[in-house]
Structure 1
Amino acid sequence: MNRNQSLQLYVKENLSLYLFVSVIFITGVIFGAVMVNALSLEQKQEIMRYLGNFFSSVDQGGFMETNASFQQSFAMHIKWILIIWILGMSVIGLPLILVLDFLKGVLIGFTVGYLVGQLSWKGLLFALVSVAPQNLIIIPALLICSVTAMAFSIHMVKHRFMTRKGAFYEPFMRYSATILVSGVLLAGVALFEAHISPVMMKWVTPMLVTMSS
């Protein structure tokens, strides 16, 4: 079987899982955006005070040292997919993978929803430079890891009585390789967040400092 046939087979076998996981994630994004409207005035003011201090710090160049920033960012991303990897090796972990995808959607939806709701187009601009770029990699990586984990978990259920030597070894290696490749991609994301994101945020924070003060 050549590479194109393998890819077609993979898509055919997992398309429903990708659609399901994507719906869960998008539902989380919508829920997170709606949550912004549920905040009290005091809560919104408290978040805005925090953002005001953050914008001022960014405007003055007060960033974490790049190595520390990379380590913190990479640790956060790698923990997320390692949890998915572990959950994929147990049947009871399958629904928890969906919970993680939903929560990731909630975090993104709330962040962007709050910025746009409170700061209008300037908040959208800040979201475009601080949230969007890295999530163009993070979200697909997360969805691919989630679907691969769910597919492996389902495979274990279907073949729980099989004793053939390759019944679990080959799927497990493919599953682990997917997680490993995603980890490499997320290391690149962490580098971007440590070196490039601060520069991009510094471009737009001057116009936000006065608005949030």
Structure 2
Amino acid sequence: MLAAAGEKFKEERLLLLFLTILFGAGVVFGTLLASGLDEEQRRMLNEELSRFLMQLSQGQSVERESAFWQSFWQHGRWLLLIALMGLAVIGLPVILALNFLKGVLVGFAVGTLAIQHGGKGLVFALLSVLPTNLLSVPAYLAASAAAISFSLFIIRCRLIRRSGSLLPAAAALVGTTAIMLIVLAAASMLDAWLSPALMAWASGWLITG
């Protein structure tokens, strides 16, 4: 029992390391995408960003509760998709793609702001992106590791050896997913209450800069 638990812990630790590297590769790729935009695309993005920053600097109110539920719904859908892909077994490539895509989105957002506004844009990107992602990214990585571990268990113990109980592995996946959902709820709270305040504070000097 202890040996099996140790092997499972080692497997999930290696999966977390691999997924972290994959996410990091996505961040790099997203940054390269941002730097590869042509002048017209950069102009359009800059116009949209300028409008958004102007709204923030003018203190336009944000409905916090609505923003929380919208963010939580987005996080929840992403988490549910990861769990379902793990249960489906054949969804392993999709889980990997989702983690890479998450990195691309973060890298593109940070890269675009840094390219458009230099150091101030980088600071603004960190203020807007970092607080939520400090919770959401580890949650997605942990959920993905649990989902992949479950899929590998199905392949090894149910399809190849045709032995082993499915219930403990399924319970571990469901438990991890439930815990990560709570973490993502906390990330959504940061997204709704903390991030808008930080962005509003930073938007003024970013516009003037």
TM range (shorter): over 0.9
**Structure 1 counterpart of 2:68:** 70
Corresponding residue SS for 2:158: coil
Query: Which stretch of the first structure deviates more once superposed, 39-48 or 189-198?
Result: 189-198
How big is the alpha-carbon RMSD for the aligned residues of Structure 1 and Structure 2?
A: 1.9
How far residue 7 of structure 1 moved from its aligned partner, in angstroms, is 7.8
Look up the equivalent residue of 1:26 and give its one-letter code.
G
Matched, 1:189 2:156: no
Structure 2 counterpart of 1:111: 109
Give the Cα–Cα distance (whole angstroms) in 2 for the partners of residues 37 and 125 of structure 1: 17
Divergent runs of 4+, >3 A = 5-11, 161-164
Write out aligned runs for 1:17-166 (5 A): 17-160=15-158, 162=162
Q: 1:163 to 1:6 in 2, by over 3 A?
A: closer
Structure 2 length-normalised TM: 0.92
TM-score by length of 1: 0.91
Q: In the aligned structure 1, how far is the partner of 2:188 from the partner of 2:34?
A: 27
Cα deviation for residue 118 of structure 1 reads 1.2
What are structure 2's unaligned runs of at least 5 residues? none
Structure 1 Cα separation of the partners of residues 115 and 9 of structure 2: 38
Indicate the larger mover: 144-153 or 9-18: 9-18
Q: Is the Cα–Cα contact under 8 Å of residues 19 and 99 in structure 2 kept in the other structure?
A: yes
Structure 1 stretches lacking a partner, 5+ long? none
> How far apart are 1:133 and its partner, in Å?
1.1
Task: State the Cα deviation string for residues 84-120 of structure 1 (Å, max 9, x = none).
Answer: 0000011210010000001000000011111111111
Give 1:13 shift.
2.4
For residue 90 of structure 2, give the secondary structure of its aligned residue in structure 1.
helix
Give the % identical residues. Answer: 37
Question: In 2, Cα distance between the equivalents of 1:6 and 1:57?
Answer: 55
User: How many Å separate the matches in 2 of 1:196 and 1:48?
Assistant: 24
Equivalent-residue separation in structure 2 for 1:10 and 1:144 (angstroms):
14
Q: What corresponds to 2:204 in structure 1?
A: 206
Alignment: residue pair count: 207
Provide, for residues 126-168 of structure 1, a one-character-per-residue CA deviation record: whole Å limited to 9, x for no partner: 112100111111111111111100000000111115466xx11
| Alpha carbons 2:131, 2:190 under 8 Å: kept | no
Residue 180 of structure 1 aligns with which residue? 178
Residues 63 and 198, structure 1, Cα contact 8 Å, conserved in 2: no
